[in-house]
Structure 1
Amino acid sequence: MASIFTRIIQGEIPAHKVYEDDQYLAFLDISPLTEGHTLVVPKKEVDYIFDLDDATLTGLMLVAKKLAPAIQKACPCLRIGVSVIGLEVPHTHVHLIPMQSMRDMNFSNPKLQFSPDELAATASRIRANV
């Protein structure tokens, strides 16, 4: 069965996309830790990041590197934190999280709620800076 991320990639489930090319997709997390919390995924469905082939892993990190300054401009913060956990969805993904302190990277924090219009506006600001 396809992961929720594969279903997003295939257009079956809507997402607030901030970047897409033929191999990768980045979109806003719908349960973010901070405004601008973005997920970067390879379009190839592989559960565990270290099972990716070297080229896909390298490309994934280069997309994350490309997006980090765009997210930081769109959602001013001290840094963009990077996290790979890999337990919540069986599809490799990198979290890019605007942070003011290390507390912002704590996944046990309550998740924020943004309206669809707010998410669309954030995604638009990020895309404008890519």
Structure 2
Amino acid sequence: MTDSSSLPPLTALGAGPVYENLHIWLPQLFAEHARAGSAVIEGKTFVNCRFEGPAVLLPLSGCTFETCNMGEAGGDTRNLLLAPVGSQKVIGVIPFRDCAFRQSAFYMVGFTGSASFLKHFHEMVGGSAA
């Protein structure tokens, strides 16, 4: 078991709109935005950031991923993907809209979204089109 007293305290990430060279624990980022009244992380740019979960990221629309390490997939990029079962919404995810992710890395992060997003994501990170 890890001694939590030896871990550095979390420092506020702030409202952005640009985050650069940061280690970002995704639940903290979401909590900061939610406390500021926003249920969606929107219009942000992340450059050379390390995103850490456990978390499931939901890109709603307008999100781009440029030269990112999407995480360890155990040999199959589909292992990073979770398909929603309901047709209306997904509960318990961290939603992003109109955000740019550049030269960033994701650790212990899954991704979900529409069937077309999941197909595009799988192809983007090197999976076959099948």
**TM-score band, normalised by the shorter chain?**
under 0.3
Give the alignment's TM-score, normalised by structure 2: 0.27
Structure (1 or 2) with the greater strand fraction: 2
Q: Which has the larger radius of gyration?
A: 2
Higher helix proportion: 1
